[in-house]
Structure 1
Amino acid sequence: MTDELLIERRTAETGQHWVEVTFNRPEKLNAFTRGMYQGLHELCRSLAEDPTVKALVLRGAGGKAFAAGNDIEDFLGQDQVPYEEEIRAMFTALFELPQVTIAAIDGACVGGGLAIATHCDLRIATPTSRFGYPIARTLGNALSSPVLFRCAAIFGESLTREMLLTARLQSAERAYGVGALLAVTSTLEEDVAELVSSILGLSSVTLRTTKSQLGFRAAALEPVPDGEEELLGAVYAGPDFAEGVRAFLAKSRPHFG
């Protein structure tokens, strides 16, 4: 595993286990690299076969961000559509875990960071946290449909439309108001610890069966549309993405048509 992804297996006094993962690039607001996605995917594959672990907590280092999307320089070094598919496979593995997954959010939770959070079971955040997909004013790319649908399932279609179509970030208070957050708290570490402790005392049969049932429902509601690869391929080959890349490299604002 990379040092950018810190993984710690913990054991309660009862002998039950949970895993905590810290996205460890605070100087980059924990923006994800391909190596971080691959490391998280590898962890998910391992946890899927580990009945001794009951919960997974994800958090960002530094106190300024859960994760601020993808590292653009790393992203631009890839063939974008296959890379998107690789990332989406990681999201699916996270969503399908039998463990209860918790996103402990402190600060910016945008782009790929928001996608990770919406593929968790529960989200808890500090009052200053912000959420969104501001890609319409940054890179001029587009979300894959399953990621978009997952956001709508958690935040509701109306707020998801606002996130994408206005590129505005949303407050923790508003996210809590639509049910996307379990709680907004100034004592994040204590509240997450209490939440994990309560989960460790619950029936594993109930938790795993419920997650499996909800997973079947989500798969039925959120299939990948036909032509998705061609649609995203046109986006990444198009003029807006080219302008977004130009502006990013020049450290200027993009001018979209």
Structure 2
Amino acid sequence: MTDDVRFERDGHVAVITLNRPQKLNAVTPEMADAIVSAVGECNESDSIRCVILTGAGERAFCAGSDIRELDGYDTPWQFRNRPDYCDAVRALLKPTIAAVNGYAFGGGLETAMSCDIRVAAENAQFAAPEIKLGWIGGGGMAAHLTHSIGASNAALMLLTGDPVSAERALAWGLVSEVVPQGELMARARTIAAVIASRAPIAAETAKANLKAAVSMPLEKAIEYERDLQTICFATEDAAEGRAAFKEKRSPVFRRR
């Protein structure tokens, strides 16, 4: 781990904070390794049920990869095969919430889109600025944007590189909510607490189902959903949920 990435637990909720505010939380290779490590810890834990990803300071969620570090790769192939923080976030098995404050640019935007739910502060801005520097995003930028905001809006962002406000991001469906900056983490924690109170296997399965719904043909997606439903139905948590319903009490889920 590195001081530039904080990893905290609060009950069933984990918080990963990019902690390099003086550099707009731009990600270095060491930070990418730390994110990979934090994701591994979340996936291996039975107690963590939801993960919040955010950036320290008031100016930025994440400005993407630290451009000054990119010349450190000896070859384009080495750059291609580097540990990628967006891949790591997508590999999270637990539900994820991006709490976006300030700039979410380049890899920062890809990181936010790799989360399941995005909540933005009023000062948030979103951009795919790579085209201004001579390249394009490589962490799922085009695919995520097209699925999130439609082909035309995605093209506008990708081909101009210009930022989009939180208000427009909300109108386009890029984020679920926009809240005052001072309320951002409280709102993210509230959502996380609700998710953490649900049956954890069902929540993780719902996440897998959402990913499949994007990539599979309709009939295959429905067939896959039914298989996932059957798996959930066979768990101890599902039996507990049915028993709690009959007994008119709150269920106690144990991820079993």
1:154 deviates by: 2.2
Is the CA contact 2:86–2:107 (under 8 Å) kept in the aligned structure 1? Answer: no
Aligned to 2:155: 161
The aligned counterpart of 1:213 is 209
Candidates 114, 120, 126, aligned match of 1:119: 114
Q: 1:23 to 1:194 in 2, by over 3 A?
A: same
Tell me the equivalent position of 1:130: 125
Matched, 1:142 2:136: yes
Rg (Cα) greater in structure: 2
How far residue 214 of structure 1 moved from its aligned partner, in angstroms, is 2.3
Alpha carbons 1:96, 1:212 under 8 Å: kept: no
Matched, 1:34 2:29: yes
**Percent of residue pairs bearing the same amino acid type:** 31
The aligned residue for residue 5 of structure 1 is 5
Distance of 2:50 and 2:38 partners within structure 1: 13
Q: Residues of 2 paired with 1:72 and 1:46: CA distance?
A: 28
For 2:69, give the aligned amino acid. D
1:110–1:47 distance in 2 versus 1, CA, 3 Å: same
Compute the RMSD of aligned alpha carbons. Answer: 1.8
- Aligned counterparts of 1:210 and 1:34: Cα–Cα separation in 2: 32
Q: Tell me what 1:14 maps to.
A: none
Aligned residues of 2:121 and 2:178 also touching (Cα < 8 A)? yes
| 1:123 match: secondary structure | strand
Which of 82, 85, 94 is the aligned partner of 2:89?
94
TM-score norm. by structure 2 comes to: 0.78
Aligned amino acid, residue 197 of structure 1? A
Distance between the aligned counterparts of 2:67 and 2:124, measured in 1? 22
Query: Which of 188, 193, 205 lines up with 2:189 in the alignment?
Result: 193
> How many pairs align?
214
Instruction: Classify 1:66/1:152 alpha carbon distance in 2 versus 1 (closer, same or farther; 3 Å).
Output: same
2-structure distance, mates of 1:156, 1:125? 19
Report the more deviating stretch, 153-162 or 31-40: 153-162
The 3-state SS of whatever aligns with 2:82 is helix
